[in-house]
């Protein structure tokens, strides 16, 4: 088992470990600035034939570039153009635009001086394997079930965390559910590199995956994932979502409708396989954010699973009842924040796992109200909700979910009552304006992507910012039918897959230079060299909240492939979901566009 010992350091060993850690940081540093690495930054998987195709050349001087087959036949020659603006690191880049070259095949890009790019392909459905893997990744995150080789290949593993004896933490105690009593709360996905299960983060994740199905049902019905439920008459993406949805349902207190914030150990598990984690598990305090995110997901699920009455006869009704009782709880308890530090002063054991704390619930109310309204057509849900607060149009994150509600309202206008929502025109206007803000001036920046428009995009989990910007652009493409939004969405996919300052494709197993050491307990502890595939790491983040030095604090360069670096190299379900959306939507739309041309 590799590296587990790092996490067992004791006081006595500290100086030795400090030395070793400095040494490994040094090794990682020299790996990062390896001069043999290609100065050509591009999507390491490839391009659709009719898509925009760009590569970024660092340390260039201009001149001609060529595209060559793998046997070095020149098939295209173009001229490198300097970027209008420098990169965040202060350098002008050179842009190789070969969009007009559209002949399917495998190629490399060559620049003056003899350097070349990683190989890439031009072909229809070029992102299909990645798109599938981004959803299959959730199968690998399943709690409470073994993963046999038949589905998991060399990443097969034993069952972890059955969660059939979960304790009511004192913070969650009620008349009917006393502290220390037990509930069953099995299934669900592990949140990230850790083994806990958090409702707030499950909310945006599950909502995003359900939207992928709702927005592209015909395509998503064709996606086969080789999971245990495959072939049961339900599309595999919904089968995978069901694993988490059934867990989420258990997180609601049936006595009052409130939803527990998370199911967790008192402290993070060690870096060990999930079946080794046998510490007690708790559900903690109910909260407004968790309850509203739950209500939104259950309302959305109700209308989706209604389409499968044979396979899941009672599920839609259960989801709708749960959504409504959660909503009622939130109306009665509109301001219950999850404040872990305060909770720990009052109750024991102290809980030190992820917080997902949020104090503002206006956006959660908008999301839940929108989903409940679209499912039930009962405008009562919108009654006391200000749908148009005067606050920024945040691209969705776990703590900012207003736009998830907007997406749902904006696209469900076949139904007359949604069409008549008086704020709808303004909501659409704001969505389009937000997309325009994102794309305005992109062609001047050094990497030609929305992601590299602003250093503000580079916090913890920055790759999910890029992916969620892509999702917003696709939503607006669907509203406007203006292809420029789709082009810029694809540019952010290019960013994630290698057209960026670090030269990494940030998805494990997909690209030529990919993370090998994500902060992900099974990937570290399983003894398999390659990490579990299809996982999006957090990516560039100059914050270094983990104390691990990145080779550069320039925002888009602040990344290290080190399994201790949880602020730059962890993986998480809420980061994979917009990647799954972006990659699958790109596949679906590319198929639609090419068939409409024929």
The SS3 of residue 404 is helix
Q: Which is nearer to ligand 9MR, 494 or 570 (CB)?
A: 570
Q: Tell the smallest beta-carbon distance from residue 277 to ligand 9MR (Å).
A: 12
Candidate segments 17-25, 84-92, 241-249, 565-573, binder of ligand 9MR by CB under 6 A: 565-573
Q: Which of 160, 193, 518, 578 binds ligand 9MR (CB under 6 A)?
A: 193
268 binds ligand 9MR (CB under 6 A): yes
DSSP assignments along 471-488, one per residue: HHHHHHHHHH--HHHHHH
Question: Strand pairing partners for 51?
Answer: none
Q: Tell the smallest beta-carbon distance from residue 264 to ligand 9MR (Å).
A: 9
* Calpha distance 284→292 (Å, rounded): 16
Task: Find the largest Cα–Cα distance for the chain.
Answer: 76
Q: Tell the smallest beta-carbon distance from residue 466 to ligand 9MR (Å).
A: 14
Phi, then psi, of 57 in degrees rounded to 5: -110, 125
Q: Tell the smallest beta-carbon distance from residue 279 to ligand 9MR (Å).
A: 14
192 binds ligand 9MR (CB under 6 A): yes
Q: Which is nearer to ligand 9MR, 227 or 567 (CB)?
A: 567
Q: Which is nearer to ligand 9MR, 201 or 514 (CB)?
A: 201
Size of the site for ligand 9MR (CB under 6 A): 14
Contact 340, 355 (CB under 8 A): yes
Candidate segments 95-103, 170-178, 254-262, 566-574, binder of ligand 9MR by CB under 6 A: 566-574
Q: Which is nearer to ligand 9MR, 354 or 511 (CB)?
A: 354
* Calpha distance 542→98 (Å, rounded): 32
363 binds ligand 9MR (CB under 6 A): no
The site string for ligand 9MR over 120-149 (x = CB under 6 A, - otherwise) reads ------------------------------
Candidate segments 47-55, 97-105, 191-199, 443-451, binder of ligand 9MR by CB under 6 A: 191-199
Q: Which of 163, 194, 240, 526 binds ligand 9MR (CB under 6 A)?
A: 194
Q: Tell the smallest beta-carbon distance from residue 259 to ligand 9MR (Å).
A: 18
Q: Tell the smallest beta-carbon distance from residue 567 to ligand 9MR (Å).
A: 7
355 binds ligand 9MR (CB under 6 A): yes
Q: Tell the smallest beta-carbon distance from residue 176 to ligand 9MR (Å).
A: 30
358 binds ligand 9MR (CB under 6 A): no
354 binds ligand 9MR (CB under 6 A): yes
Q: For 17-84, list the strands marked E by DSSP.
A: 40-41, 46-47, 54-57, 64-69, 74-79, 81-82
Catalogue the active-site residues.
Answer: 194, 519, 561, 570
Q: Tell the smallest beta-carbon distance from residue 193 to ligand 9MR (Å).
A: 4
Q: What angle do CA 470, 552, 563 make, to 5 degrees?
A: 75
Q: Which is nearer to ligand 9MR, 213 or 460 (CB)?
A: 460
Q: Which is nearer to ligand 9MR, 247 or 356 (CB)?
A: 356
560 binds ligand 9MR (CB under 6 A): no
- Radius of gyration of the chain from its Cα atoms, rounded to whole angstroms: 24
Residue nearest to ligand 9MR (CB): 354
**Residues between 436 and 475 with contacts to ligand 9MR, criterion CB under 6 A:** 460-461
Q: Which is nearer to ligand 9MR, 460 or 510 (CB)?
A: 460
566 binds ligand 9MR (CB under 6 A): yes
Candidate segments 249-257, 317-325, 353-361, 433-441, binder of ligand 9MR by CB under 6 A: 353-361
Q: Which residue has the tokens 């909770």?
A: 343
Q: Which is nearer to ligand 9MR, 112 or 543 (CB)?
A: 543
Candidate segments 188-196, 216-224, 383-391, 482-490, binder of ligand 9MR by CB under 6 A: 188-196
* Calpha distance 4→327 (Å, rounded): 44
Ordered strands of the 94-97 beta sheet: 40-41, 54-57, 94-97, 81-82
190 binds ligand 9MR (CB under 6 A): no
Q: Tell the smallest beta-carbon distance from residue 185 to ligand 9MR (Å).
A: 18
Taking the CA atoms of residue 446, residue 448, residue 453 and residue 456 in that order, the dihedral angle to the nearest 10 degrees is: -80
Contact 312, 198 (CB under 8 A): no
156 binds ligand 9MR (CB under 6 A): no
Q: Tell the smallest beta-carbon distance from residue 161 to ligand 9MR (Å).
A: 14
CA distances from 319 to 281, 334, 461, 469 (A): 25, 21, 30, 29
Up-side HSE of residue 4: CA atoms within 13 Å toward CB? 14
Phi, then psi, of 168 in degrees rounded to 5: -80, 115
Q: Which H/E stretch holds residue 29?
A: helix 14-32
191 binds ligand 9MR (CB under 6 A): yes
The SS3 of residue 490 is helix
282 binds ligand 9MR (CB under 6 A): no
Neighbouring C-beta atoms of residue 218, cutoff 10 Å: 9
Checking 143-149 for CB contacts under 8 A at 24+ apart, the result is 143/186, 143/187, 143/188, 143/189, 143/190, 143/195, 143/197, 143/247, 143/274, 144/186, 144/187, 144/188, 145/187
Sequence-distant (6+) residues with CB within 8 A of 131 are 223, 580, 583, 584, 586, 587
Question: Which residue, among 295, 286, 301, has the nearest Cα to 324 in the 3D structure?
Answer: 295
Query: By the criterion CB under 6 A, which residues form the site for ligand 9MR?
Result: 191-194, 268, 354-356, 460-461, 564, 566, 570, 572
């Amino acid at each position: 088992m590799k590296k587990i010992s790092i996490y067992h350091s004791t006081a006595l060993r500290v100086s030795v470990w400090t030395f070793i850690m400095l040494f490994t940081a040094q090794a990682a540093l020299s790996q990062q600035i390896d001069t043999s690495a290609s100065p050509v930054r591009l999507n390491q998987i490839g391009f659709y034939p009719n898509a925009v195709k760009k590569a970024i050349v660092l340390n260039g001087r201009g001149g001609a570039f060529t595209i060559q087959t793998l046997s070095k036949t020149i098939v295209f020659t173009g001229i490198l153009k300097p970027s209008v603006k420098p990169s965040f690191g202060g350098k002008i880049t050179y842009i190789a635009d070969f969009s007009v070259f559209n002949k399917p095949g495998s190629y490399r890009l060559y620049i003056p001086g003899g350097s070349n790019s990683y190989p890439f392909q031009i072909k229809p459905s070029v992102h299909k394997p990645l798109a599938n893997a981004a959803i299959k990744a959730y199968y690998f995150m399943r709690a409470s079930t073994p993963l046999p080789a038949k589905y998991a290949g060399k990443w097969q593993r034993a069952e972890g965390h059955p969660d059939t004896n979960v304790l009511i933490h004192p913070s969650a105690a009620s008349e009917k559910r006393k502290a220390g009593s037990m509930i069953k709360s099995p299934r669900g996905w592990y949140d990230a590199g850790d083994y806990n299960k958090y409702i707030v983060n499950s909310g945006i994740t599950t909502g995003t995956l359900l939207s992928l199905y709702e927005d592209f049902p015909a395509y998503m019905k064709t996606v086969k994932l080789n999971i245990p439920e495959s072939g049961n008459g339900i599309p595999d993406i919904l089968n995978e979502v069901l694993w988490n949805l059934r867990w989420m349902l258990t997180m609601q207190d049936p006595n009052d409708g409130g939803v527990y914030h998370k199911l967790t150990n008192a402290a993070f598990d060690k870096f060990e396989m999930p079946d080794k984690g046998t510490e007690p598990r708790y559900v903690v305090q109910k909260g407004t954010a968790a309850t509203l995110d739950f209500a939104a997901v259950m309302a959305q699920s109700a209308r989706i699973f209604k389409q499968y009455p044979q396979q899941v006869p009672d599920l839609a009704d259960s989801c709708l009842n749960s959504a409504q009782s959660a909503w009622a709880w939130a109306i009665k308890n509109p301001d219950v924040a999850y404040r872990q530090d305060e909770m720990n002063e009052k109750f024991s054991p102290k809980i030190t796992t992820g917080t997902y704390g949020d104090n503002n619930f206006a956006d959660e109310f908008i999301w839940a109200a929108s989903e409940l309204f679209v499912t039930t057509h009962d405008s009562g849900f919108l009654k006391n909700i200000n749908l148009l607060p005067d606050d920024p149009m945040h691209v969705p994150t776990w703590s900012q979910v207003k736009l998830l509600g907007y997406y749902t309202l904006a696209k469900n206008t076949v139904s007359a009552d949604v069409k008549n929502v008086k704020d709808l025109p303004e909501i659409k206007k704001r969505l389009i304006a937000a997309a325009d803000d994102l794309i305005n001036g992109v062609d001047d920046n050094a990497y030609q992507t929305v992601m590299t428009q602003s250093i503000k995009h580079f916090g913890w989990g920055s790759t999910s910012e890029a992916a969620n910007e892509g999702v917003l652009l696709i939503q607006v493409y669907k509203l406007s039918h203006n292809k420029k939004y789709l082009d810029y969405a694809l540019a952010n996919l290019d960013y994630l897959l290698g057209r960026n300052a670090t030269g990494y494709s940030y998805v494990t197993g997909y690209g030529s230079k990919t993370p090998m050491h994500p902060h992900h307990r099974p990937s570290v502890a399983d003894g398999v060299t390659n990490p579990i595939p299809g996982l999006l790491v957090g990516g560039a983040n100059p914050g270094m909240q983990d104390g691990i030095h990145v080779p550069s604090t320039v925002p888009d360069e602040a990344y290290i492939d080190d399994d201790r670096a949880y602020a730059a190299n962890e993986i998480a379900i809420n980061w994979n979901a917009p990647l799954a959306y972006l990659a699958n939507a790109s596949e679906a739309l590319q198929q639609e566009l090419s068939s409409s041309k024929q």
